[in-house]
Amino acid sequence: MSDHLHDRRIIETCLLLLNEKRLIWYRGINLDGVKALADALKFCKYLKHLSIRENDINDEGGKELADALCVNTTLTVLDLSQNRIAVEGGRAFANALCKNTTLISLYLDFNKVAGSLTDALYVNKTLLELNIESIGMTRNDIRELADALSSNSTLKSLDLSVNQLDSKAEDALGEALLTNTGLVFPRLNFSLMGSRK
């Protein structure tokens, strides 16, 4: 076995162990750490679930991870909740979701990605669960999301809690749920009625 292949197996084994014990939560992982994780994801063959929630991952780190998702063929669950990923990072994940065919659950709660993931829902046919609670979606973002949901019958669970809603956004979501044959667990808890556009 080549040294390079041996090194990759060691890295993947370490990542599996760290993830299993949740030792990469709350660690303040910096950009170098995220780049290392993203590089590992590009060749990992056994890692199915990865939770790196509550770190300091920003847009640049989000882009690194999204790029890795474009080529990763084994990861099914990615939890990036409570990081600092914003719209640019969200767009990178939308692009990755258009290419990735194995991810079934994505958690981006409490990041500020707003409506940046919406376009991916027109294309992606494998994502079953999307948690985007408190991501700064405006009522216009939610109306656009409702339009995307009308043509996506794959998504089964969607958490939109604590985002901006108004009666038009509620109506748009209601219509989408009438035509969407797949979504069975929509969550809108504590969504805010407000005047944001």
Question: What is this structure's pTM?
Answer: 0.87
User: What is the rounded CA–CA span in Å between residue 94 and residue 183?
Assistant: 19
Band of residue 10 on the pLDDT scale cut at 50, 70, 90: low
Assess whether pLDDT exceeds 70 at residue 20.
no
pLDDT of residue 169: 85
Domain coordinates in residue numbering, the chain = 3-193
Of 19-23, 75-79, 166-170, where does the model show the most confidence? 75-79
pLDDT of residue 114: 94
Distance CA 30, CA 121 (A): 30
Most trustworthy range by pLDDT among 39-43, 156-160, 161-165: 156-160
Architecture of domain 3-193: Alpha-Beta Horseshoe (3.80)
When pLDDT is cut at 50, 70 and 90, the band that residue 101 belongs to is very high
Average pLDDT, the chain: 86
Extract the tokens encoding 48.
């199915």
Res. 1: pLDDT tops 50: no
Structure tokens at 136: 């700064």
pLDDT tens profile 43-62: 888 888 888 899 989 999 99
pLDDT at 19 over 70: no
Q: Which amino acid is at 123?
A: V
Q: Which long-range contacts (CB under 8 A, 24 or more apart) does 103-106 make?
A: 103/69, 103/75, 103/76, 103/77, 103/78, 103/127, 104/76, 104/77, 104/128, 104/129, 105/76, 105/77, 105/78, 105/79, 105/129, 105/130, 105/131, 106/77, 106/78, 106/80, 106/130, 106/131
Please report the pLDDT score of residue 116 as a whole number.
Answer: 95
How does residue 195 score in pLDDT terms, banded at 50, 70 and 90?
very low
Q: How many angstroms separate the CA atoms of 30 and 26, rounded?
A: 11
Residues in the chain: 197
What pLDDT was estimated at residue 86?
98
